[in-house]
Amino acid sequence: MSDSIEQLTDQAISNMPGIEGLPRRNGELVFHDDWKRRVFALAVSLCEQGQYQWDEFRDHLIAAIAAAGETPENPKPGAPGYFEHWLESFEKILEEKGLLSVDDSLTQSDD
């Protein structure tokens, strides 16, 4: 069963048609920094496990990007950028679903 959830997730991600579409070159994803890669995988992983529907996450992402007023057609180099919106949206949905308190994460000590 987990296979079919993964496949549905893949399609939902590849079909994000609007301002929330993943930055890419020639169809392939563009991650400049490792944290972008990591936070991308975190959000996909929890969705694949059924912790939330992709649309729920996507709605946060759309709202965050829309608030910043940036689109691929109208880039604003000073704006936070796509994956910071992704990170913010991911933290929101973690809180919303009661999966994690982001404050806990920021204050945790390393061990």
**Residues at the interface with another protein (CB under 8 A):** 4, 7-8, 10-11, 13-15, 17, 21-35, 37-42, 44-46, 48-49, 51, 70-82, 84, 87, 90-91, 99-100, 102, 104-106, 108, 110
- Cα of 23 vs its chain's centroid, Å: 12
| Summary count for the chain: helices (H), strands (E) | 5, 2
In the numeric block, the tokens 């991911």 are attached to: 90
C-beta atoms surrounding 13 within 10 Å: 19
Q: 63 or 80, CB closer to another protein?
A: 80
Q: 63 or 73, CB closer to another protein?
A: 73
Work out how close the CB of 18 gets to another protein at its nearest, in angstroms, rounded to a whole number.
9
